[in-house]
Structure 1
């Protein structure tokens, strides 16, 4: 079984239903059984707002939704909307786009997000790495994870391309999980990233989640890279679906 835990609606379609159909077609084409779509924090977005994604997939048996939320955009009304979605089981987590937006993961303004996630026992995801990487740097996330033991956090992209720094800093934070989306984005980094992942997955097999960042990156390339990793059968099972099922409580 394969679960792609980091998907976005593709941008090359004009209406939301066509975007959803294209995403489902991509899963079918690549033999992916289930997926998690991450909505934007913007109220209007080419990758789908929270409302659009929640409505589009509310009756889906194979797609779950994570809500993006911003401290700068109708924050408290969006927070209450996410509360209703969590009550109704229409979303399975919350994402903060640290780096895309200029706030730090430790800022007081996002504490209500952590409180809401803890109340419903769902994870909070962070964008990490790439440009503007300081907003959710590993040292900050470690501080946050240590101060919020009642929360679970998912560190998307593993602070790419500095995966070694990510894992060295966060290895003792048992409430932080690693989403490997977009790590196969640049072929020249793959040998080193592959070795790092093989070593670290063997050390922490229950903390890694497969994702592709489809919509921005190639799902096919990420699946091929995941298949190339030298993992035990149990490690591969956890990485490709078992950890996602547990962390996101997928039924």
Structure 2
């Protein structure tokens, strides 16, 4: 009798748990349609992967650089870090994105929010490219980025000067972004692989302070997997990010894959209370991104990885982070 009672209670508990399971619909705030060779699986593969992953809406951009297959390299590299050959700035990436989106039927096209990325961030002419693309494709572009500034070894491999988020070329772009109501997705590492302090903090903080009418989405919260390989967890990231969110209401945070661990989740996959508290304190400032590059089969896995963290948040906040916050940062309908 006792065993039957316990069994019934267990079944009832499982049914209640199943009834209370959350069904998230996602917006992907950080997706690259092409890879570092400007190649892609194509729009049918992307749409299929989005449907399987429950992704209703997605930012879509190119990759602002192309990796060179150098004359002296016997094998074509598979990634920008595959060998020591350069990468170079590649503006045609925006045309690939525009062509792919504009071919879609209207209902599918509404799911995508194209961002302009094909700019050299150390060239003061870059703002002219953005203006030209806005004129060539009126009504298409809804943001700028991902702009590559401090970006691990890619910074050293890319031909030309070291890009910074606080240089004059980028200042011109921030002014244009404010005028056109376009958010800017910015990759700006908070430090180098070796320095255990926020070495490059000024490069992201100066634009936040000097351009209060520009909405900034900070890719990966300034972290990267390459930094983690050398110094694992940056203890200064959480307090620094907290202060920036307090001081700059124009800052939004892309919680893509390099933030998931070791920050949002511990080694056992348990959500960290301090990060939960931060998201609850600023419930409209965080969004999720896959950061896939031209290949889309991992979309479902990327977003499922966030489920333990989302489930630990209040349900209304979890849905904001999963879907609504990215859509809210886009240009207002005219």
Does TM, scored on the shorter chain, surpass 0.5? yes
Q: Residue 199 of structure 1: SS of its match in structure 2?
A: helix
Map 1:73-84; keep pairs closer than 5 Å. 75-84=126-135
1:5 is aligned, of 29, 33, 36, to 29
Find the structure with the greater CA-based Rg. Answer: 2
Whole-Å separation in 2 of the counterparts to 1:14 and 1:123 = 24
Moved more, 182-191 or 170-179: 182-191
Residue 242 of structure 2 is matched in structure 1 by 168
Q: Does residue 88 of the first structure (1) align with residue 138 of the second (2)?
A: yes
Cα RMSD, aligned residues only: 3.4
2:97 is aligned, of 53, 75, 79, to 53
Aligned residues: 249
Whole-Å separation in 1 of the counterparts to 2:263 and 2:128 = 44
Map 1:43-192; keep pairs closer than 5 Å. 49-58=93-102, 59=104, 60-68=109-117, 69-72=119-122, 75-84=126-135, 88-95=138-145, 96-100=147-151, 101=155, 102-129=162-189, 132=192, 137-160=200-223, 162=234, 163-172=237-246, 173-183=248-258, 190-191=265-266
Moved more, 146-155 or 20-29: 20-29
| Structure 2: gaps (5+ residues) | 1-24, 69-78, 80-89, 156-161, 224-232
Structure 1 residues 110 and 194: alpha-carbon distance in aligned structure 2, compared to 1, 3 A threshold:
same
Whole-Å separation in 1 of the counterparts to 2:176 and 2:216 = 13
Moved >4 Å (runs of 4+)? 10-16, 43-48, 130-136, 184-189
Contact 1:104-1:136 at 8 Å conserved across structures: no
Q: Give, in angstroms, the shift of residue 21 of structure 1.
A: 2.1
Deviation readout 1:25-77 (Å, 9 max, x if unpaired): 21112121111112222489999801110121134121221111223566254
Moved more, 223-232 or 200-209: 223-232
Q: Residue 171 of structure 1: SS of its match in structure 2?
A: helix
Contact 2:221-2:259 at 8 Å conserved across structures: no
Structure 1 residues 150 and 185: alpha-carbon distance in aligned structure 2, compared to 1, 3 A threshold:
closer
Structure 1 residues 147 and 83: alpha-carbon distance in aligned structure 2, compared to 1, 3 A threshold:
same
